[in-house]
A and B are shown apart, each in its own frame.
Chain A
Amino acid sequence: MTSRDRIFATLRAGLKHTVDDPARPAAVAERINRRTPNLVPQRAQIPHAEQVALFTAKVEALTVTVDSVPAEQDVPGKVADYLARHNLPSQLRVAPDPLLQNLPWSERPMLQVDYGPGRSQDLVSVTPAFAGIAETGTLMLHSSATTPTTLHFVPDHHIVVMKESQITGSLEDAFARLRDKLGTADKSAAENWPRTVNFVTGPSRTADIEGVPVLGAHGPRRLHIVLIADGTP
């Protein structure tokens, strides 16, 4: 008997009253595939414009800075301002994502932009996000060919470029959007699931010494968002 068999035998012995109920497998399959959220807090169930305002207020409360820009072409200028504000060298490690690759970086000739995953020498990364969650001021990011996730954790400064239309109310809304994006004609969302999904809520922190909150433990010390005002989805 393998360990797996023995663990399952013990589990099933503990379920002795119900284990033979023929309705169980269907109930479990239904439960896994149920897409109805459990209780979602009222605070997340608000119109999109209010979600944007709540998202901004929540991230700012976590010391995240936000620059709102009217259009994509304004992003490089805001990124350059951020570097200047924090006395940072003008090297950027950028996710090879179409949105970011198509930005007019060349209008800021001082910026040295290169694309790829995070390396130990990278001080500043620029990445897109998949969604922003208003409820808690949380970013949802995931791995893909164009979004290496080491950029979310290795550099000291993480700059996220995203659009207002990507902001949702709740965690469940964000998962629903991801399922919609990943599901294809021949494969379910689960089958196309990315290696990793990262929820990021503010910069890295710790309270492991005497319970004192300190920012910049091992991940980025600062998180900055450039928010493109593209309106409601």
Chain B
Amino acid sequence: MSMQITAQNFEANAKKALKDPNLRKAMQIIGGPMASRRVETARELPEFEALRDEGVKIKTHVLKHIDLYLEKFEQQLTARGGKLHWCRTSREARETILALCRSRNAKLVTKGKSMVTEEIGLNAFLEEHGITPVETDLGEYIIQLAQEPPSHIIGPALHKTREQVAELFEEHHPDYELPNVPGVKAGPRSTEPQVLVTEARSVLRDTYFKADVGITGANFLIAETGATVIVTNEGNGDLTQSLPKMHIAVSSIEKVIPNLEDLSTILRILARSATGQEMSCYTTLSCGPKRPEDKDGPEEFHVVLVDNGRSEMLGTELEPLLRCIRCGACMNNCPVYHSVGGHAYGWVYPGPIGAALDPHMIGLETARHLPNASTFCGKCEEVCPMRIPLPDIMRWWREQAHEKQITPPLQRWGIEAWAFAAKNPWLYRLGARVAIGLLNLLGKDKGKFTSLPLVGGWTDGRDFPAPQSGSTFMSQYKKKGQKSGVTK
């Protein structure tokens, strides 16, 4: 029971999304300012491209020795008083976390932003077992109120307009009083982001202090020191992990890196690629529970490391995906994502990274449309700080879908027939001559077709021009060649 999957309905999801005016407005922000901020900060750092190469080098090296790096991380974490829990599946991870929460009789859990907890479907599971998880990242908090999945890996509520956020707050905070007028209920909300942020801040304040357990993600695991690292802007992750008695960091095995120098290198490309900042506001290394002399911090520190199929990607065509640092640049720059938004992809990871990763994680049968949700413009690979060949991987998935007969028969036969013709030029030319001749015969008078069988996708939106002569390019080329003396 992880997050509800609707990837199999991608086509219908996308059609619906294209008609949603709020989504259209929201997507302009992602394709506009979010994408251009990356370009600006990257330009201000002359070494940006070289740093990307260094980042790729680090991650490629780690993947060759990932078993040894994970062992070292475990050894160091344990020596600092932390506890590592290895989980092969989502289910195992959920049960491990529930058992940890129960060991402290937890009723209330605060959560920092974590895509892996979305992946394992943690919130619904905790709720079913009588524990209330409260998301504290503003975007995650908004979608938790709206009971929706995230639509973007770093801006989970970017599909919501300010008006929608104001409505949600009105509905869910009936007792909220404006900060400067105590005793008076806030009533209809201003839609100013600053005002809405203040409201979320004040509503969540007590929760941080009351929570029994704080759960965060981790962007990196450092083998040298045994520390987990979170990278955030709001400060919610730090409040979540420093105030309750227990901190659980939920992460996945591919996040391990060798040492602090490597962390420094990757941090330089992470924030620039994600939000266009030089550094995110808060980068925090956590390493074990509070020391005996410390005056604050959690008494227990647990790291739940989830595999969920990642180990199987090693040594396959999918291995480069294990370099991903979850910055979101690929979706910020993807024309398909800009058109359909994140929900259409129907699972936790949307955009190009989702199109390449989701088929492995939820099955190609279910996610078969996602590798097709691409124009192959190559922009995702161009902006990926880890230079992951996303289009190649999507193409590989298409081949897999064809070979495993997951693609519908009509499409498969069509492609096979076309491939056969393409490999036999005489047949291809004959086919082209027949088709052109026929189109010319039927459409010459009108000059265009408003509908044609098999190409409804084209004629739904525009006319198909009718060829005005019945001859093909090749036959015209031959004629011309004879005239000008050019021979083939």
Chains A and B come from one and the same complex: yes
Q: How many residues on A have C-beta within 8 angstroms of the other chain's C-beta atoms?
A: 84
Which chain A residues lie closer than 8 Å to B205 at the CB level?
120
- Let me know if A207 is at the binding interface, CB within 8 A: yes
Which of B142, B208, B226, B259 interacts with A34 by CB under 8 Å? B259
- Let me know if B412 is at the binding interface, CB within 8 A: no
- Let me know if A108 is at the binding interface, CB within 8 A: no
- Cβ A209 vs Cβ B235 within 8 A: no
How big is the B interface, by class? Answer: 35 or more
Which chain B residues lie closer than 8 Å to A2 at the CB level?
86
Which chain A residues lie closer than 8 Å to B160 at the CB level?
209
- Cβ A217 vs Cβ B197 within 8 A: yes
- Cβ B264 vs Cβ A190 within 8 A: no
- Let me know if B80 is at the binding interface, CB within 8 A: yes
Q: Give Cα A31 to B58, complex, Å.
A: 10
8 A Cβ contacts from B180-218 to A: 193-194, 196-198, 200-201, 204-206, 208-209
Q: Give Cα A10 to B58, complex, Å.
A: 22
- Cβ A200 vs Cβ B282 within 8 A: yes
Query: Would A145 and B294 be within 8 Å (CB), given that A15-B67, A190-B76 are in contact?
Result: yes
- Let me know if B461 is at the binding interface, CB within 8 A: no
Which of A34, A42, A197 interacts with B285 by CB under 8 Å? A197
- Let me know if B388 is at the binding interface, CB within 8 A: no
Question: Which of B25-33, B101-109, B346-354, B444-452 makes up part of the contact surface?
Answer: B25-33
Which chain A residues lie closer than 8 Å to B225 at the CB level?
190, 193
- Cβ A190 vs Cβ B224 within 8 A: yes
- Cβ A219 vs Cβ B142 within 8 A: no
- Cβ A195 vs Cβ B291 within 8 A: yes
* Interface mask (A35-64 → B, CB under 8 Å = 1, otherwise 0): 111110111000000000000001000000
Query: Would A195 and B297 be within 8 Å (CB), given that A205-B281, A209-B193 are in contact?
Result: yes
- Cβ B68 vs Cβ A25 within 8 A: yes
- Cβ B47 vs Cβ A218 within 8 A: no
8 A Cβ contacts from B428-457 to A: none
- Let me know if A208 is at the binding interface, CB within 8 A: yes
- Cβ B234 vs Cβ A218 within 8 A: yes
- Let me know if A166 is at the binding interface, CB within 8 A: no
Query: Would A194 and B261 be within 8 Å (CB), given that A8-B67, A143-B297, A211-B33 are in contact?
Result: no
Which of A32, A120, A198 interacts with B238 by CB under 8 Å? A198
- Cβ A197 vs Cβ B284 within 8 A: yes
Which chain B residues lie closer than 8 Å to A208 at the CB level?
137-139, 142, 155-158
Q: Give Cα A193 to B285, complex, Å.
A: 10
Smallest CB gap from B315: residue in A: A14
8 A Cβ contacts from B271-321 to A: 275, 277-291, 293-297, 301, 307, 311-316, 319
- Cβ A34 vs Cβ B311 within 8 A: no
- Cβ B311 vs Cβ A7 within 8 A: yes
Which chain A residues lie closer than 8 Å to B294 at the CB level?
143-145, 148, 195
Which of A58, A202, A218 interacts with B236 by CB under 8 Å? A218
- Cβ B264 vs Cβ A38 within 8 A: yes
In this complex, the member of B139, B158, B287, B301 whose beta carbon has the largest number of chain A beta carbons within 10 angstroms is B287
- Cβ A217 vs Cβ B261 within 8 A: no
Which chain B residues lie closer than 8 Å to A195 at the CB level?
286-291, 294, 297, 301
Which chain B residues lie closer than 8 Å to A163 at the CB level?
none
- Cβ B34 vs Cβ A145 within 8 A: no
- Let me know if B42 is at the binding interface, CB within 8 A: no
Which chain B residues lie closer than 8 Å to A6 at the CB level?
88
- Cβ B279 vs Cβ A199 within 8 A: yes
Which chain A residues lie closer than 8 Å to B156 at the CB level?
208
* Interface mask (A1-35 → B, CB under 8 Å = 1, otherwise 0): 01110111011111111110000110110011111
Pairs A–B under 8 Å by Cβ, sample size 21: A11-B67, A11-B70, A14-B312, A18-B64, A19-B67, A32-B72, A32-B259, A37-B261, A120-B206, A149-B297, A154-B239, A193-B288, A204-B282, A206-B139, A208-B157, A211-B30, A212-B162, A217-B234, A217-B236, A218-B138, A219-B236
A-B residue pairs, 3 tightest by C-beta: A219-B235, A14-B314, A217-B234
8 additional A-B pairs beyond A33-B224, A149-B238, A207-B155, beta carbons within 8 Å, are A3-B92, A34-B258, A150-B243, A196-B286, A212-B162, A214-B197, A217-B200, A218-B236
